[in-house]
Amino acid sequence: MGRVTIELAPKQPLAASTRYEVVLVEKDKKRPTKVVGTFGTGAALDDEAPSWKGVTSTAVVAGLPPGSFSLGCGGSGPVAYLFMKQTPVDAGPFVFLVWTSTGGAIDETLPAQAVLPVDSVSAITPVPKNAGTVSIGDLGCSGNVADLPAGKAVRVRVRAVDAAGNKTAPSEVVLDTRPKGKGP
């Protein structure tokens, strides 16, 4: 089936210092049928989005060479590095939500195509000092993270979101995955 991202959004604010269960309810059943996860809330109310200046620059490479990752495999499709001068600042953990589109506007009512942490500094592409990086595309052994087709202009929208569900304003870039220069 591949990767599936499910974004859970509470209908009302969650109580502080409370443990919650995520349950599945089978169609036509009134009671939960399976607990698929649990999480807890902290003691303080968090209603502020992380502080973040967004993506400041990008780099696109045609594919990762073999040996780029510790498992020794490279991907064949394009990879994009989204650089930022400042990683988001928040009181708790955060991740990035990533949407892509090759056909116009991005619809955030659909689930994000990827939920990603900040990468460590890349050895493949120079990264500005003290910057964070988000990598998307064909990441070899890690799989295809977000849709980044070769040979197209791809609109990418990124938001940082903290554990309380507070999202930053979107940062949007257009990546060009088309080959540069003349062919052989």
β-pair partners for 6: none
* Complete DSSP assignment for 34-76: EEEEEEE--SS----PPB-----EEEEES-PPTTSSTT----S
What domains can you pick out in the chain, each with its CATH number?
Answer: 15-45 (no CATH), 57-176 (2.60.40)
Percent of the chain with pLDDT over 90: 7
| Helix (H/G/I), strand (E/B), else coil: 142 | helix
Whether residue 127 has pLDDT greater than 70: no
The pLDDT score that the predictor gives to residue 128 is: 44
Residue pLDDT, tens place only, 55-78: 888 888 876 555 555 444 556 678
* d(C-alpha 130, C-alpha 156), whole Å: 23
Residue pLDDT, tens place only, 140-149: 555 556 767 8
Predicted model pTM: 0.69
Residue pLDDT, tens place only, 6-16: 667 677 777 88
